[in-house]
Amino acid sequence: MAQILPLQIPVPTPKKPWKPAPIAMIPDLLILVGAFLVADATVALTGFKGKLAIFFLFALYSTLGSMALAFFRRGATAMSNAMATSMAYLSIALVALPLFSVLLTVVSRGRHALRLNTFTQDMAATQPDAPFSQGGALHAILGTTVLVILATVISVPIGVLTGLYLTEVKGRAETLIRFLVQAMSGVPSIVAGLFIYAVWITGGHGGFSGFSGAVALSILMLPTVARTAEEVLKLIPNDLREAGVALGGTQWRTVVMVVLPAARSGLITATVLGVARVAGETAPLLLTIFGTTAKHFNPFVGPMSALPLYIFQLLETGLNVAISRAWTGALVLLILVSVLFTLARFVGGRVKS
Amino acid sequence: MIRLFNENRYERDAVSTPPNEGEIVSSLASVANRLPRISNEVQASGADLEARGVHAWFGSRHVLADVNLSFPAGRVTALIGPSGCGKSTFLRTLNRMHEFVPSAAMAGEVLLDGVDIYKQGTDVTKIRLKIGMVFQKPNPFPSMTIGENVLSGLKLAQIKRSNKEDLMEECLTRAGLWNEVKDRLNSHGGSLSGGQQQRLCIARALAVAPEVLLMDEPCSSLDPGSTLRIEETIRQLSQSVIVVIVTHNMQQAARVSDYTGFFLTEGGPGRLIEYAPTREIFSRPKDERTEAYVTGRFG
């Protein structure tokens, strides 16, 4: 069988001609540098003062500059595009600068008291003003981990089921529930703590314990998880539900096998947002877990500690050494939360790929 | 002999008995031969589109290799081939929609009126203004009324124009939708049927007066009646606009196009196997793979 082979033409290298060549970016770079210099000069020569003035003048000048550049390149319609792009960049700078500033402050102040024993010892036998080589935040790390896990275990199933009620069941109370969930997200965190304190602890159902704290945190976490889960489930195309039901599945089987897996990454986002909402909460814990300086594993009996509470109680002492320990606590909390989020993404993303 | 064309010639979707392949070849050929050859003779607007040595990649996967095709003014070109042969990707390189995929890369040139649309410094919005696109799935803008949808291109591209009412009527008429929607221009596009929505999308694409109209399987989800109307629209458009249409429906290619390109992948990247006047592709294809495809022996 004589097959005519196609003429072998050397394959050219893949290119991305839509990306501007580096040399074409020089004017954009010049505008940025120029805007900065002129902003600097304006601050030096006029009544404007301070770094903030430089930033806002730079924002103004660079926006105007990139608009002018766009006008020369592509005419009037490209100007508004350049303006919007420039504003978007400046906005993320405005958001990112304070964030990085906070992060940097926490790292720079928290590193002094950071030792290996921060992770291996508690404060049971250590005074707050003892040298950094003694004592640590282990009890608080354990407490926060236990609290976050318990709160997640309580609120994620309830939150996701609430989301399912709103999107799949669409029962009679749909509007009411949505309203209540929304109202709940506005509850001040200390009220959640007070509620558990009044109903649970003074009601004689239990004393100060990790579990009481986890329930208080769940009250705060629930609306975030439920609302996010609802929004995510709403994005799942109806075709998928119809396809599942049309194959003879019950609504529940369709939800479990088709809808929830499709919404997987969104539901993980819902969980992460919920954890982010509560991981740093202090107020509700004051009234529910009370705080302790010793390691304490059992969340159902007796006071526990948590990193935010650890920070708060050290700050209250007013001692310089204790304040340094508190900064370290903040740094450890940041690390812990980052680890939890990375873990959530890893566990969530693994099955998909 | 199956009847591909009869008095009610678009009834062909109702034909259900699978014909044998010999009949298809001869019937497709007769379809192609009987078509009125209007657009070859009409030398309409001077626009002209040409692809030279176009390759396309997604990541490291080479999906399209060395396509050379030219689309002169006033000609309808159909691109046919099995799924995954790169014809849609090729279509999307023609108006720089390919680059919307983050991992996408390409090589080669696409010349519109002799100028490479991928040249550094080209204003991509102006390119897409000149080379319009109709997508497989009807996608009228949900937040706009029917009338606003038609004129949305003007607003998006910030084109000033007087007598917008006239333009709206003209575009809807050319898309074969005017009579059905003239009394409800203020209702939302979502209230239309699928076929009407697609014609609305065509009207929307026409409102910015493109020189080229790319259509990616525009009738794949439509009923025969809507398909008929859209094919009539394409025939009319071909007098003023270059139309390139990707289709899985070979009868459609035979009915609306003057030239047909056949794409195929044999494991590697998709290639243009054969390009010829439509009637030749369907009556005496030169390549045996083309013949196998148009007779339904594979693909």
Q: Which residues of chain B lie closer than 8 angstroms to A11, CB-CB?
A: 55, 62, 65
pLDDT at B289: 92
User: Is the predicted pLDDT of residue B40 greater than 90, yes or no?
Assistant: no
- What pLDDT score does A220 carry? 95
> Is residue B88 situated within a structural domain?
yes
Answer with the residue of higher pLDDT: B116 or A207. Answer: B116
When scoring A1, A3, A16 by the number of chain B Cβ atoms within 10 A, the one with the most, hence best to mutate, is: A16
pLDDT tens for B221-252 read 888 888 888 898 899 888 889 999 999 988 99
Closest by CA to B206, choosing from B174, B228, B235, is B174
pLDDT in tens, B44-101: 456 789 999 999 999 999 999 999 999 988 889 999 999 889 999 999 999 999 999 9
pLDDT at A74: 85
Q: Is residue B252 part of a domain?
A: yes
Residue-level pLDDT at A353: 41
Please indicate, yes or no, if residue B13 is contained in any of the structural domains.
Answer: no
Nearest to A127 by CA among A342, A265, A319: A319
Does the structure show a pLDDT above 60 at B39? no
Residue A127: predicted pLDDT: 84
CA dihedral for A69, A72, A77, A78, sign (positive or negative): negative
pLDDT band at A352 (very low <50, low <70, confident <90, very high): very low
* Residue B20 confidence class, pLDDT cut points 50, 70, 90: low
- Residue B74: which domain range? 21-294
Confidence class for position B30, pLDDT limits 50, 70, 90: low
In this predicted model, what pLDDT tens digit does every residue of A85-106 receive, in sequence order?
A: 999 999 999 999 999 999 999 9
Residue B41 has pLDDT above 60, yes or no: no
Residues contacting A18, CB < 8 A, separation 6+: B96, B99, B118, B124
pLDDT in tens, B134-152: 999 999 998 899 999 999 9
Task: Please state, for a pLDDT cut of 90, what percent of chain B lies above it.
Answer: 58
Residue range A270-289: average pLDDT? 91
Least confident range from A61-75, B28-42, B52-66, B115-129: namely B28-42
- Any CB–CB contact under 8 A between A346 and chain B? no
Are B257 and B245 contacting, i.e. CB atoms less than 8 angstroms apart? yes
Q: What domain count does chain B have?
A: 1
Predicted pLDDT at B65? 92
For A117-148, the pLDDT digits (tens) are 888 888 888 887 888 888 889 999 999 999 99
Mean pLDDT on A194-214: 89
pLDDT(B123) > 50: yes
Torsion of CA A265, A267, A272, A274, to 10 degrees: 170
Closest CA to B128 of B161, B88, B87, B157: B157
**Do the domain assignments include residue B2?**
no
Q: What is the pLDDT of residue B11?
A: 38
Q: Which of A66-80, B20-34, B191-205, B259-273 has the lowest mean pLDDT?
A: B20-34
How much is the pLDDT for B42?
Answer: 41
CATH of the domain at B220: 3.40.50.300
Burial (CB count <10 Å: 0-12, 13-18, 19+), residue A310 = buried
Whether B105 and A16 lie within 8 Å, measured CB to CB = yes
The first and second tokens of residue B118, run together, are: 């991928």
Q: Characterize the bridge pairing of strands B49-58 and B104-112.
A: antiparallel
> Which one of B99, B107, B271 has the shortest CB-CB distance to A12?
B107
Put simply, the answer to whether A18 touches B96 (Cβ < 8 Å) is yes
Annotated domain spans of chain A: 25-110, 138-352
Of A9, A15, A21, the CB nearest to B105: A15
Tell me what pLDDT residue B46 has.
61
- A18 and chain B: CB distance < 8 Å anywhere? yes
Give the nearest partner residue to B158 out of A9, A11, A77, using CB atoms: A77
* Contact B53/A at CB under 8 A: yes
Q: Is A202 in CB contact (< 8 Å) with chain B? A: no
- Mean pLDDT for all residues in chain B: 84
pLDDT at A9: 63
Comparison of pLDDT for A282 and B297, the residue scoring more: A282
d(Cα A120, Cα A135) in Å, to the nearest integer? Answer: 8
- Reply yes or no on whether the pLDDT at B36 is more than 50: no
Amino acid at position B96, single letter? R
Query: Tokens 């039901």 identify what position?
Result: A245
Looking at chain B, the whole-number percentage of residues with pLDDT higher than 70 is 84
**B167 domain residue, yes or no:** yes
**Contacts with B55 from chain A: Cβ below 8 Å:** 11-12, 14
The answer to whether B53 contacts A12, with C-beta atoms less than 8 Å apart, is: yes
Verify whether the Cβ–Cβ distance A12 to B121 is below 8 Å. no
CB proximity B270 to A under 8 Å: no
Q: Is B210 a domain residue? A: yes
A113 CB-near residues (< 8 Å, 6+ apart): A132, A321, A324, A325, A327, A328
Q: How confident is the model at residue A75 (pLDDT cuts 50, 70, 90)?
A: confident
Q: What pLDDT does A211 receive?
A: 92
- What is the distance in angstroms between the Cα of B282 and the nearest Cα belonging to chain A? 21
Q: How far is the CA of A209 from the CAs of A61, A220, A283, in angstroms?
A: 57, 18, 15
pLDDT at B37: 43
- Gap between the Cα atoms of A306 and B99, Å rounded: 49
Superfamily of domain A138-352: MetI-like (1.10.3720.10)
pLDDT of residue B299: 53
